[in-house]
Structure 1
């Protein structure tokens, strides 16, 4: 009778034998070679083993590296004090690592790629945490003499290798999509710089942009009609509009909600809160709801006919209005984190804007760009969810 506890939920066709329990000391030897020569490598929590010079990190290693450990292609190296956080990886390089790391090399019938994925699983990291030595998290240390006695379930080598191939494909897809996403974001940033500086123009547009006060192209929005059951939102400088229940796990408006502003789809709000990503606040157009309630302290407005709300949102995203906003800040942020910028002062800032048709053209272009970025983010998230599911169900 099969031991059901040693059979994974998801499996490749043709494999049915229960997995075997083995000690890690039966599957790996510790590599104890030392050398001062070779490329310096580092073990990271998120990216495994990487070349040190690719990290944005100061090299604090001493000139004397005679005690550094040798790493060969196909070895697994891990941070003995951070194994419980997932600081391990399969090496794709030959090189050397700090003596703070442990290097292990697979024995016959052990696929290092399979084990590297296994070591990253949440349940395995919990095992490493339980077995780590030390009184506090800062002194946890999982050297090989302790690691080798940990028991682990593994299949035969052929199944290990097929699982490795699957995760290699998934990891490559994730890496490729992360690169593509980063390239798209970089491209958008470049295009915004060039287009909003008027260095690049769409064909057919040659008229210079005009300086207009915000109050000449927008109308203030305030008050509500008493409906308190509408979604209650807040602005995140990095994520835009978020439902308060999603961001804070509850509606934090309290009694103040009766004074919130009723914002309709296509209208905008300026959160004049100071943050690292938006030093002078952020403007976002409402597009995820038909109607919503937003904090009264936001400066809410709608653009007049022949102007594009999307264009105004992107204009603020470039940071070009910051020069005007900076003039209005007489002191630092208030106790509530808001900059001392009144609505009237905000509405009197000067903006450089083109004619309506060019506004629409620019807005449409960047909306398409954002949709492309969002589609790639969704694809990347789906791949990560697939990987997480397989890691939970293809192992014992």
Structure 2
């Protein structure tokens, strides 16, 4: 029985040279509740977010939401103190515990539990321990959701009975250092990804004419002529072919993901087979207008079918093909700008449903499209395609690193 218990105190993956079982301690043996109240009139209030950790309310809410009349009763939080937030969410099912890494003092509502830890445990190790779900079972067994469904209630006396699995200090520090480096890599790729997204947004604004002009703010060397304004109907034709051949795969057009299969997007096909014969056929490189609006697409997205195969779409969508007078890739990126939105707002309406943007086909194909010569179109398209590839690369690296972290948090702790 002792041998079996020792096996449960050994992680699945660990650093070479460490074989002893971990020790189980109570949080109260390693930490003390911070009971100091704000007698010195500290003005900066912190909050503990499941996603962002301990942050200043000034940054998190863009202003301080503290009632000054109550701030004297708030708990002082020192650098490296830990904070338990009873608010639950999909990210933190029993409330997050995070460390104050802001490097300065602040105060927090007495709804939070603030505690400091001693030198028997690495602060960085404990920080990463609280990113696992190892302590959740104790909270679920000993706490409850309280009077409010978004709060997780547990008394201080029980909270500090929480079991913490601890290896020797040297192993703690190796584990902590590993996850710290991993977090640094994740942050690095997140910043690169964010910068590339900002760059793309800026270039979409500057490399296409705006405000009625036929000259973009930035263009490739050697091109000086004004762009030509054409109507979409001069460059494209509506796809009117119905599903007479019984195609089974239904596509959808998402503002975020573009043209995708319903099987992938919804994890199942939501099409009513009785109606599928009336659906429009979508060929590779066809464009699709979706009338559903969102915060991402204020008048519905227009995306290209890049799946490389045929499918069908509800007749609510407008499907069209374009001719060789315009680069398909150029037009794809053009529809990622907001240059065509004003036409839609002026000529269309939100229809009977507030989440739909209604416009007749005859008016839709009157949409003005700004076009440079084909060579310049292809250079612009190639530039944005390379930028999209870089964004996708960093996004995939981010996903990979996050998956590695999730797996290692599961396997490197008891």
Query: Unpaired segments of 5 or more residues in structure 1?
Result: none
- Pairwise CA distance, 1:210: 1.3
TM-score by length of 1: 0.93
**How has the CA–CA distance of structure 1 residues 11 and 246 changed in structure 2, closer, same or farther, with 3 Å as cutoff?**
same
Counterpart position of 1:290: 309
Query: Unpaired segments of 5 or more residues in structure 2?
Result: 210-215
Paired residues of 2:87 and 2:152 also in contact (CA < 8 A): yes
Paired residues of 1:77 and 1:88 also in contact (CA < 8 A): yes
- Pairwise CA distance, 1:166: 0.8
**Which of residues 204, 207, 213 is equivalent to 2:222?**
204
Distance 1:256 1:196 in 2: 40
Matches within 5 A, 1:221-370: 221-224=239-242, 226-229=244-247, 231-254=249-272, 255-329=274-348, 331-335=349-353, 337-370=355-388
- Pairwise CA distance, 1:207: 1.2
- Pairwise CA distance, 1:86: 4.1
Tell me whether 1:116 sits opposite 2:130 in the alignment: no
Which is worse superposed, 167-176 or 136-145? 136-145
Counterpart position of 2:58: 53
- Pairwise CA distance, 1:227: 4.2
**Which of residues 122, 134, 143 is equivalent to 1:132?**
143
Distance 2:385 2:409 in 1: 36
Counterpart position of 2:75: 69
Distance 2:261 2:135 in 1: 35
Tell me whether 1:185 sits opposite 2:185 in the alignment: no
- Pairwise CA distance, 1:38: 6.3
Counterpart position of 1:380: 398
Paired residues of 2:232 and 2:366 also in contact (CA < 8 A): yes
**Partner secondary structure for residue 73 of structure 2:** coil
Counterpart position of 2:213: none
**How has the CA–CA distance of structure 1 residues 88 and 139 changed in structure 2, closer, same or farther, with 3 Å as cutoff?**
closer
Counterpart position of 1:150: 162
Distance 1:132 1:227 in 2: 59
Query: Structure 1 or 2: larger helix share?
Result: 1
Distance 2:50 2:354 in 1: 36
**How has the CA–CA distance of structure 1 residues 250 and 57 changed in structure 2, closer, same or farther, with 3 Å as cutoff?**
same
**How has the CA–CA distance of structure 1 residues 84 and 97 changed in structure 2, closer, same or farther, with 3 Å as cutoff?**
farther
Tell me whether 1:89 sits opposite 2:80 in the alignment: no
Tell me whether 1:394 sits opposite 2:400 in the alignment: no
CA RMSD of aligned residues (A): 2.1
**How has the CA–CA distance of structure 1 residues 139 and 363 changed in structure 2, closer, same or farther, with 3 Å as cutoff?**
closer
Q: Which whole-Å deviations, capped at 9, do the CAs of 1:46-85 have from their partners, x for residues lacking one?
A: 1211233222444221224222222222221121344744
Distance 1:109 1:26 in 2: 9
Paired residues of 2:37 and 2:73 also in contact (CA < 8 A): yes
TM-score by length of 2: 0.89
- Pairwise CA distance, 1:139: 4.5
- Pairwise CA distance, 1:22: 1.6
**How has the CA–CA distance of structure 1 residues 388 and 227 changed in structure 2, closer, same or farther, with 3 Å as cutoff?**
farther
